[in-house]
Structure 1
Amino acid sequence: MIELLKQPWPWYLSGAAIALIMTLLIYFGKFFGVSSNLRTICTIAGAGRKVKFFDFDWRAQKWNLLFIFGAVIGGFISSTLLNNDQPIQLSSATIADLESMGIAFDGNLNPSQLFGLDAVFSFKGFLILLVGGLLVGFGTRYAGGCTSGHAISGLTNMQMPSLIAVIGFFIGGLAMTYLILPYLF
């Protein structure tokens, strides 16, 4: 049975699971989003004494902390117990694109050349992570939520601001992929 779980699952199972979860959340009047967990954690840590944004009743959002805890546990289980040690399968075009940027595909989901400790602790890697983190944090706050909150929960609830945000996420992702990323590596 565990060997069956180690195989890639069809995409439609994830879609069905997301639809089921969203149906339950809508039924119970809840909204989903990862960035709201960060706000709740900061509030628990006492940030509400200094910043008004964090001054709210976090106990009303404690159910959402279970989601983030489950995501961390699920990621751990999938990376340890369900890991199949087979190299991921990328198209030859993607491998060629990576090589044109000087990135050697090593069969891992996260190439060690980009995500290894040597890369992270280099000046360039540190700077990319720092600037990227600041931009993601600013963008999440400015957009009123993260990609999961807008793309899954907001679109499910047919919120126009979420549609605009998701369109912006895609435009930003395309711009990063084709206009900025090739010059970073």
Structure 2
Amino acid sequence: MSKELKVPQSYWNPYVCGIGLGLVLLAAFVVMGRGIGASGAMSSVVATGVKTVSISHAEANAFYKGYLGDGTVSPLKDWLVFEVLGVLIGGFLSGKLAHRFKFKVEKGALLTNNRRFLYAFVGGIIMAFGTKLARGCTSGQALTGGALMNVGSWIFMIALFAGAYAMAGTFKRLWA
């Protein structure tokens, strides 16, 4: 019995995807009364975890208390948590349906897997710190803040792209 090789489908047109993302953002404003983002979901999960470990600490901390609310509804029922779960599940299904799903480590030839994981972890920590400092994740700042014409969101995105462009040369050699 031979195994049939499935050819990956081509990527979608980025302009069509951009229009679709804009419509999703518009629907979020109409249905939920606010835009989209991911950091609020992560904060809800962290606040719930802290409360699980130490109720007194979570209730005494203003940051966690903001996500825990009055305690009658679990913060894990926040719609942003379901949004992020939907993104993860949708990405998985999209990859499977397009025959593009596989486990692999994207890295340059000069980089080991362990070093790639270390760089990804350190970059994630820096991004998480920046997310809280900027009071929102990249998606929330760019999509929601940009759509609302928030000056801070536009400055954030310009700085993000300028910083990425400035650092690209430094890290390019690792991907050669």
Q: What band does the TM-score fall into relative to the shorter chain?
A: 0.7 to 0.9
Does 2:136 correspond to 1:120?
no
Identity %: 27
Shift of 1:175: 1.5
Shift of 1:128: 1.9
Letter in 2 for 1:72: L
Which of 29, 33, 44 is residue 29 of structure 1 equivalent to? 33
The answer to whether the 8 Å contact 1:151/1:163 transfers is: yes
The answer to whether the 8 Å contact 2:107/2:116 transfers is: no
Partner of 2:48: 44
Greater displacement, 158-167 / 51-60 = 51-60
Q: 1:158 to 1:59 in 2, by over 3 A?
A: same
**1:1-185 matched pairs, under 5 angstroms:** 6-27=9-30, 28-47=32-51, 48-49=58-59, 51-56=61-66, 57=69, 59=75, 62-83=78-99, 111-113=106-108, 119-121=112-114, 124-178=115-169, 180-182=170-172
Q: 1:16 to 1:135 in 2, by over 3 A?
A: same
The answer to whether the 8 Å contact 1:120/1:126 transfers is: yes
Which structure 2 residue ranges, 5 or more long, are not aligned?
1-5, 52-57
CA distance in 2, matches of 1:125, 1:59: 33
CA distance in 1, matches of 2:79, 2:151: 26
- SS for the counterpart of 2:78 is helix
CA distance in 2, matches of 1:43, 1:184: 37
Q: 1:37 to 1:44 in 2, by over 3 A?
A: same
Shift of 1:110: 5.9
Which structure 1 residue ranges, 5 or more long, are not aligned?
86-107
- What's the TM-score once normalised by structure 1's chain length? 0.69
Letter in 2 for 1:74: G
- What's the TM-score once normalised by structure 2's chain length? 0.72
Shift of 1:109: 9.3
**RMSD after superposition:** 3.0
CA distance in 1, matches of 2:173, 2:135: 30
Return structure 1 stretches of 4+ with deviation > 6 angstroms. Answer: none
Deviations 1:66-94 (A, max 9, x none): 11011111111122232258xxxxxxxxx
